[in-house]
Structure 1
Amino acid sequence: MIQRIRINAYQVGLVFEYNKLVSVIQEGSYWIWGRKEVIVYEMKQSFVSTIDINILLQNQDLANRLEVVEVGDNEIVLLFQSGTFKEVLTTGRYAFWKGYLDYKFVKADVSKVHITEQINLGLLENIKLQLFTRKFQVLNHEKALLFVNGAFVKELTAGTYYFWKNAITVDVKNVDVRHQQMEISGQELLTKDKATLRINFFVRYQVINVFKALVENKDFDRQLYIIMQLALRAYVGGLTLDELLSKKETIAAAVLEEVSNKITEMGLQVTDSGIRDVILTGEMKEIMNQVLVAEKKAQANSIMRREETAAMRSMLNTAKLMEENEMLWKLKEMEYVEKIADRIGEITISGSGNIIGQLKEIFVK
């Protein structure tokens, strides 16, 4: 049996006889004799055969034409073709034709945690490589802690972090390190004199020790809320209502000083706090309004008494002056006459007696 085979440029032919590779032929025309089979391969593609490659590579001519890449367990190989990333090779043996395309191979050990190979970070976002990596992001206003198999490794600052995906557990715990505000609202409290009221309290805080906040304490924000709540209750319970209202501006500082050590132990720093509102219950509000009205009435009565006293004192001084000075008495008489004249059309007075007496007789009748 004779057959003619044509091998074009950038092709390679493998000649088999009884499934055994007997020769390798390249560009040209060939007459094939006997019960032989020729399989033609394109050099622009990787070499893939249905026959075990380990058997084929026993042919030295073929072995010289191929570049063989072996990928072991827990390894991957990044295949670059003419400088461009093409594929990820997993466990196995691969062969590529030499001389036609420029291949580059980057082997990586994926059994470890950190990516130490010289791989461009942008390439780690490639969908083909994402299957083998895990990604964690720490924002600009955050800090984070890295844990490997549950053990703390180090603190991470803002950035994007990649690790190999394998059986090793990797966890990154983020925390916001910006100033934050916590509201402690509607706290119903009982003062020392048994007055019931509600207080709205706020706390402005910041995480300054990430390890203490995340590792040594659980739910640090919830703990801060409870600590401030209990301290506020204890402090208010030691004051009467009047004392509370008079010390409203200093209560926050006193409460904060009381719990400052506990806050530091949680890795936090409180930069500001204060009472937003003091709300009296319905009954207490009515009582306070009554007290306020009574105080204002007392103030008004006091002012009226002072004015009356001043007026009486003025009248007494005037009487003394008139008693000592007859001219002032005459002027006073004229003042009365003037006032009466404004109201009465005509008045007739006879004789040279006491004018005031005569006027009195006129108006008393």
Structure 2
Amino acid sequence: MWKTFYIKPNEIGILYHRSDFKKILSPGTYTYFGRHWNLKTYDLNQAEAKIENLELLLVTHSAELSDKLLIVRTNFNQTALVRYGQNWISIAPNQLRAFWRGFIEVESHIFNLDESLELPAEFVEQVRGITLNGLKKFQVTEYEIGLLYVQNNFVRPLEQGEYAFWVVNKDVAVRTLSRIVPNPDFPLEDVLIEKHPEFVQTYCQIVQLESNQVAIIRYLGKVISILPPTSRKLFWQGVEVEIIDISSEAKLPPNLVAELLAGSKEVLLLSHNSLHIREVPSQHLGLLYINQEFQAQLQPGTHAWWVFGRSFQTEVFDLRLQSIEVSGQDILSKDKVPLRLNLTAGFRIQDALRAKNGLSNVSDFLYKELQFALRAAVGEKTLDALLEDKGVIDQSVAEYIRAKTADYGIEVDSVGVKDIILPGEIKTILSKVVEAEKAAQANVVRRREETAATRSMLNTAKVMEDNPVALRLKELEVLERIAEKIDHIQVNGSLDSILTELIQINRQ
């Protein structure tokens, strides 16, 4: 019994008798006698040869298989890259793989993971854009530095370029830091400083401060960081470091105050946690306390101190004339009349230190003392006395409050009662009294005017009696008044006859 097998041009076959390997057959037609022959074909377009019992066949027929196959075997510490045509595949440790030779160009490369996890640069370029199992790729740009970590342990820095690392049995990570940011967040700075001084020396500048020092870090002339005492931090090389001793003097000089407080918002935010800042306006005075002890008076301007190791307290006092209102005070007069009064006072702080040391709150103190003085002054006077002379309240309150404030460096400039508000029924009574007084005054004035008018008329009559010309002028004046009230007058005869007839009528 004959069996014929046909192998296509793009195939290769392995001939078995029963289950025993016999040979590898190239494309063509083959005839064998017997029924136990068996042929298994493989498509050469698929470069990898997935042959059953490959391990056993390599032991018994190594020479014949090696002539037709590229055998790739990796140990526990090895990986491999296989290129067939334009394609690449990766092979993990402890693998046995076979690839057909001849039909498609095929080559393999073994890598020892104990020597390096990094894929050589020539292979990185060839596998660019290809995803391979067990291989992790990283890109570091020209403005970055990469930090290579294996199993979370720093290994070395990576400059600009493309990198690939085997991650089949170890975790590999690259943390990129921007080189254009002079103070990036270095991971585990203390570990880098202690364990990797060569990296720090090559790439970084370390700033380490004592307990009495602060540091201002500048880059390209701009403040980028303020470090407190006993701190330690890494920066890229190229920064400017100014270390300041604050053991004897914590106050900042004017040029540094201007730089830190009058600059950008970013610089002001950096200064916020490091400085005690106090702005003293014009016509004001500030008091400085360090560790609860008075230190100095502060003139108008901006002042700043390093806060480290000290406690600061500053208070600003207005030296201008100020006013205080004591409103709605309900007080009984001496004759038990309820009154509501509003008082205002003007004061000026002459000695801010005495006021601060003697009083917890200047305004509260003045308000209470003015209340007491106002109640005492009103309670000693009757309503009539108060209404007759309101200035007596002002004088009494002023004398009292000036005596009280003299010891605290406060000058009271003026005190005055603005309003005295009476109850409704008292207002009604006073209105009637005033109305009666004004009515009586009006009667007196009216009688006085009537007497004067009568006396004037009598004097006029005596003049006319002794002087006919004056009488004639008076007659003409009367006629003029009459004429003003008449629209039309018809005169018959002379003006003299008219006047004579009028005079006769008056005499009748």
Q: TM-score, length-normalised on structure 2?
A: 0.46
AA matched with 1:196? P
- Hey, what does 2:360 align to over in structure 1? 218
| Kept in 1: contact 2:252–2:306 (CA 8 A) | no
- Hey, what does 2:209 align to over in structure 1? 71
Larger proportion of helix: 1
- Hey, what does 1:239 align to over in structure 2? 381
Instruction: Measure, in 2, the Cα distance between the counterparts of 1:46 and 1:203.
Output: 58
Cα-to-partner distance string for 1:254-304 (whole Å, 9 max, x where unaligned): 421233121222322222222222222111111111211222333344456
Aligned with 1:283 (options 419, 425, 430) = 425
- Match status 1:105 vs 2:241: yes
- Match status 1:115 vs 2:254: no
Instruction: Measure, in 2, the Cα distance between the counterparts of 1:63 and 1:300.
Output: 108
Instruction: Measure, in 2, the Cα distance between the counterparts of 1:164 and 1:119.
Output: 12
- Match status 1:208 vs 2:208: no
Q: Label 1:263 to 1:340 Cα distance change in 2 as closer, same or farther (>3 A).
A: farther
| Kept in 2: contact 1:220–1:266 (CA 8 A) | no
Q: Label 1:343 to 1:247 Cα distance change in 2 as closer, same or farther (>3 A).
A: same
- Hey, what does 1:13 align to over in structure 2? none
- Hey, what does 1:92 align to over in structure 2? 232
Q: Label 1:194 to 1:312 Cα distance change in 2 as closer, same or farther (>3 A).
A: farther
Aligned with 1:258 (options 400, 405, 421) = 400
| Kept in 2: contact 1:143–1:176 (CA 8 A) | yes
Q: Secondary structure at the match of 2:384?
A: helix
Cα-to-partner distance string for 1:41-65 (whole Å, 9 max, x where unaligned): x9997998997656766x8xx9799
Instruction: Measure, in 2, the Cα distance between the counterparts of 1:217 and 1:95.
Output: 50
Instruction: Measure, in 1, the Cα distance between the counterparts of 2:274 and 2:179.
Output: 29
Structure 1: stretches of 5+ with no match in the other structure: 6-41, 322-337, 345-365
Q: Label 1:67 to 1:304 Cα distance change in 2 as closer, same or farther (>3 A).
A: closer
Once the 2 structures are TM-superposed, how far is the Cα of residue 213 of structure 1 from its aligned partner?
Answer: 2.2
Instruction: Measure, in 2, the Cα distance between the counterparts of 1:222 and 1:309.
Output: 63
Instruction: Measure, in 1, the Cα distance between the counterparts of 2:333 and 2:421.
Output: 13
Kindly name which structure, 1 or 2, has the bigger radius of gyration based on alpha carbons: 2
1:154-165 superposed matches below 5 A: 154-165=296-307
| Kept in 2: contact 1:134–1:164 (CA 8 A) | yes
Q: Label 1:272 to 1:306 Cα distance change in 2 as closer, same or farther (>3 A).
A: same
1:125-204 superposed matches below 5 A: 125-204=267-346
Instruction: Measure, in 2, the Cα distance between the counterparts of 1:268 and 1:342.
Output: 84
Q: Secondary structure at the match of 2:413?
A: strand
Instruction: Measure, in 2, the Cα distance between the counterparts of 1:71 and 1:311.
Output: 106
- Hey, what does 2:27 align to over in structure 1? none
Q: Secondary structure at the match of 1:292?
A: helix
- Percent identical pairs in the alignment equals 29
> Considering only aligned residues, what root-mean-square deviation do their CA atoms show, in Å?
4.8
Instruction: Measure, in 2, the Cα distance between the counterparts of 1:185 and 1:93.
Output: 60
| Kept in 2: contact 1:115–1:162 (CA 8 A) | yes
| Kept in 2: contact 1:72–1:92 (CA 8 A) | no
Q: Label 1:52 to 1:296 Cα distance change in 2 as closer, same or farther (>3 A).
A: closer
Q: Label 1:252 to 1:88 Cα distance change in 2 as closer, same or farther (>3 A).
A: closer
Higher relative contact order (CA 8 A, sep 6+): 1
Q: Label 1:105 to 1:279 Cα distance change in 2 as closer, same or farther (>3 A).
A: same
| Kept in 2: contact 1:148–1:168 (CA 8 A) | yes
Q: Which moved more, 1:63-72 or 1:140-149?
A: 63-72
AA matched with 1:75? Q
| Kept in 1: contact 2:226–2:274 (CA 8 A) | no
Q: TM-score, length-normalised on structure 1?
A: 0.61
Q: Label 1:140 to 1:308 Cα distance change in 2 as closer, same or farther (>3 A).
A: closer
Q: Label 1:297 to 1:167 Cα distance change in 2 as closer, same or farther (>3 A).
A: same
Q: Label 1:187 to 1:84 Cα distance change in 2 as closer, same or farther (>3 A).
A: closer
Once the 2 structures are TM-superposed, how far is the Cα of residue 238 of structure 1 from its aligned partner?
Answer: 2.3
